Amino acid sequence: MSARKLLAFAAAAIALAVLLVAPFYLRPYGIYILSLWAVTSIAAIGLNLTLGYAGQISLAQAAFVGIGAYIAALMTTNGLPFYAAYVAAGLACFAVGWLLGYPALRVQHHYLAFVTLAFTTLAFLVFRNEEWLTGGIYGITNIPRPSVFGWPMRRAINFYFFCLAHLALVAAATWWLIRSPWGRAFVALRENPVRALSLGVDTRRYTLMAFAIGAGLGGISGALYAPLVQFIDPTPFSLYLSFNLLLMVVVGGAGYFAGPLVGAVVAVLLPEWLRFTEGYYLIGYAILVIVLMIFSPTGLLGLADRLTRPQSKPVGGTVDPVAAEKEAVS
Amino acid sequence: MSASRPVLEVTGLSKQFGGIVAVDGVSFEVREGEILGIIGPNGSGKSTLFNCILGQLQPSAGTVRLDGDEVTGLRPCDLNRRGVSRTFQLLQVFPELTVRENLILAGQEHQGTMLSRLFGRRDAGLGAAADRMIAFFRLQHLAQEKAGGLSYGQQKLLDAAMAFMAGPRLVLLDEPAGGVNLTMLANLRERLRAINAEEGATFVIIEHNMEFVMALCTRILVLAEGRVIAEGPPDVIRRDPKVIEAYLGH
């Protein structure tokens, strides 16, 4: 148990060191890709709450990222401070998620997937057709990057650390959430909603909260995406992004805390590394994902979990009941 | 005990599935501190009756009253917060949570609001209560194990312990003894009796294990084809020709 914890801790420390050091050795494009990874991870963390913890398949995450991005773009290009836009994007998406979830969560599983698919399509059409607001296919240009305490984030490397800090913040808040009684209720309603309901867990309210919080994180991700690319149009917020985010959560390991971070590496960085194969990279990528899903439906972290787990021992037999009793009393 | 007021009153409860009448005008009451057994052949409507009382199914007709208030068709979570708890015929623990977390979950929704649970203590202030329940059901050595790794009998004990975590007034147990070995069964029976005596909790138990029912229950209700065919103390029920007919006659 402790050896596994140590291993997980070491992996996290190495990953963090790479994230802190790598940008100093990368060209701007590499830094951009790393920033994109951080921003995408936030949206994937949100979807992991909805899918991995509350067990609901949502294809609406792209719409929330889009709504967040457009809110941030519109507000900051009109001279409003970035953090006002950031908070507004998060809150607006939370509210929209709540309003969408209220009727939509009456259906579950693939029916919910269809409802959320329709919502993403609807949002995409609004981004494209409501030119007076969104600029239509011409999009919104010259989205400014913020300054933090007078420090301009215009340089790629500065903005990368800005995104990384926000990812750390979101990750810490999510960690705190899933270790709260809410997190316990989320796991319960994923594992056995009928039993959870009979134990007083208001499954409808908890599912709605998981969905709305996931949506809010999508909005925050969008609010960071807009100043990262500095130009937005409807294209990146199509259904393709929803599927891609779903893929990240599932490939990384749904319900694992670090799942979306690992999944985002696969979805954002792997295509870049496979670029040398030119036209074949999508084929290679697809085959890799198929093979992974066949051998480890619980994703990469599920695979790591299985490989490092000590051989299953008969529970109870090897534990000293007296010592355990002492521990329970103290 | 018979003078005490009814905790649960079921009046004319019926449930139809298409043309099949699973529960047909069942009425009974359960008095405070009582252990009522419900027996009957397979398919006699026992579990459907439970599900209608507990809001898992909407009854086609009839009323359910708790402490005199009508609660017919309330959602299971609302009923549970009013002090009605249950176990299911099939095992229902949360395999990915530890034994201790299963118990904390079973109690956490009974206090505070959604917000206070979010910002409150991680164990919802129920750590000590969970440990007491673990000790009471003699599961100490398993407290930190994931529930999915426990043996069937141990999970069955945990399942029962979860039903008691929130200090319910009324507990409906659906076949608590099914598939449990003899030692575990004695433990369970003794624990149920202790909770009944010490906390005054009221039980309704569906069970096929006659020995278990006869030893534990103060009164028994016999269902056959969705109707109550007999009611009375165990030794009367045991000799009732209608009951013998229902079990052996088909």
CATH number at residue B216: 3.40.50.300
Residue found by looking up tokens 């009382």 in the block: B53
Q: Which residue of A has its CA nearest to B154?
A: A316
Distance CA A182, CA A213 (A): 12
- Distance between CA atoms of B159 and A24, rounded to whole angstroms? 55
Residue B104 lies in a domain: no
Chain B neighbors of A209, CB-CB under 8 A: 114
What is the average pLDDT score of chain A?
A: 89
Name the residue range of residue B12's domain.
Answer: 6-94+168-248
pLDDT at A24: 94
Taking an 8 Å cut-off on Cβ atoms, the answer to whether A203 and B77 are in contact is yes
The per-residue pLDDT for A311 is 57
Confidence of residue A1 (pLDDT cuts 50, 70, 90): low
A180 touches chain B (CB under 8 A): yes
| Structure confidence by residue, pLDDT tens digits, B145-187 | 999 999 888 898 899 899 999 888 899 999 888 878 888 888 8
A191–B contact, CB cutoff 8 A = yes
The token pair that represents A278 in the structure block: 């030119």
Q: What is the pLDDT of residue A324?
A: 39
Distance, in Å, from the CA atom of A249 to the CA atom of A262, rounded to the nearest integer, reads 8
Please give the mean pLDDT across all residues of chain B: 89
CA–CA min distance A173, chain B (Å) = 12
Q: Which residues contact A309 (CB under 8 A, 6 or more apart)?
A: A4
Give which of A329, A185, A180 is closest to B105, Cα–Cα: A185
Cβ-based interface (< 8 Å): residues of B facing A: 54, 56, 75-77, 80-81, 85-86, 88, 92-97, 101, 104-106, 108-110, 114, 117-120, 122, 124, 131, 134-135, 140-143, 145, 149-151, 154, 162, 166
pLDDT at A318: 36
Strand partners, B188: none
Percent of chain A with pLDDT over 90: 67
In a domain, B83, yes or no: yes
Which residues in chain A are contacts of B76 at CB distance < 8 A? Answer: 197-198
- Residue B3 has a pLDDT of 53
Number of domains within chain B = 1
Q: Examine the pLDDT at A328 and tell me if it is beyond 50.
A: no
CB atoms under 10 Å from CB of A106, counted, come to 11
* A123-136 mean pLDDT: 94
| Residue in B217, B195, B215, B196 with CA at minimum distance from that of residue B206 | B217
* 3-state SS assignment for residue A100: helix
Question: What pLDDT is stored for residue A107 in this prediction?
Answer: 84
3-state secondary structure of B247: helix
Contact criterion met (CB below 8 Å) for A206 and A54:
yes
Phi, psi at residue B146, to the nearest 5°? Answer: -70, 140
pLDDT tens digit sequence for A169-188: 999 999 999 999 999 999 99
Alpha-carbon separation of residue A194 from A149, A188, B91, B118 (angstroms):
50, 9, 12, 22
Name the burial class of residue A101, with classes exposed (0-12), middle (13-18) and buried (19+) by CB atoms within 10 angstroms of its CB.
buried
Say if pTM beats, i.e. exceeds, 0.90: no
> Using an 8 Å Cβ cutoff, are B192 and B213 in contact?
no
ipTM over 0.90: no
| Residue closest to A52 by CA, chosen among A186, A177, A142 | A186
Q: Is residue B106 part of a domain?
A: no
Segment A53-75 mean pLDDT: 94
Write the CB contacts of A117 (distance below 8 Å, at least 6 apart in sequence).
A59, A60, A239, A242
The amino acid occupying position A11 is A
For residues B141 and A284, give the distance between their C-alpha atoms in angstroms, rounded to a whole number.
49
Task: Give kind and range of the element (H or E) at residue A64.
Answer: helix A61-77
The domain ranges of chain A are: 28-238
